[in-house]
Amino acid sequence: MRAEISYDLVMDDDMGFVEGSFRLPGGCWQVVIVARYDVPEPVALQQVWDSGVRGVFIRFPNESLLNAGAVERVLSANLGVSEWVAVRGPDSMQLR
């Protein structure tokens, strides 16, 4: 399955925090937030924000490199996506 992703921040090789939005085929835009935690491996939690918008909150290991590839791998594993296309989507803060 091919899906779209948009990052709110300019992505670097190792980020402290990531926020963006994604859209599965035929679906609405959803929010993705990735924050560093003291966890051994990424933990993806389905989320519904107060606005009713859905998404994924990822707890990411402090010691691992956090970049676009890492975010997309975690999302792929949890959502069944085989390919991500970077697009200009809505700002996640406005969606939430």
Write the pLDDT tens digit of every residue in 9-38.
999 999 999 999 999 999 999 999 999 999
Amino acid at 82: S
pLDDT category of residue 46 using cuts at 50, 70 and 90: very high
pLDDT (0 to 100) of residue 89: 96
Looking at residue 8, the DSSP 8-state letter turns out to be S
Model pTM? 0.95
Secondary structure of the chain: what % helix, strand, coil (to 5)?
Answer: 15, 40, 40
Q: For residues 22 and 19, give the distance between their C-alpha atoms in angstroms, rounded to a whole number.
A: 10
pLDDT (0 to 100) of residue 80: 97
pLDDT (0 to 100) of residue 40: 98
Torsion angle defined by CA atoms of residues 30, 32, 11 and 59, in that order, rounded to the nearest 10 degrees? -170
Per the structure block, which two tokens stand in for 51?
């606005």
Give tens-digit pLDDT for 51-96.
999 999 999 999 999 999 999 999 999 999 999 999 999 999 999 9
Per the structure block, which two tokens stand in for 73?
């791998």
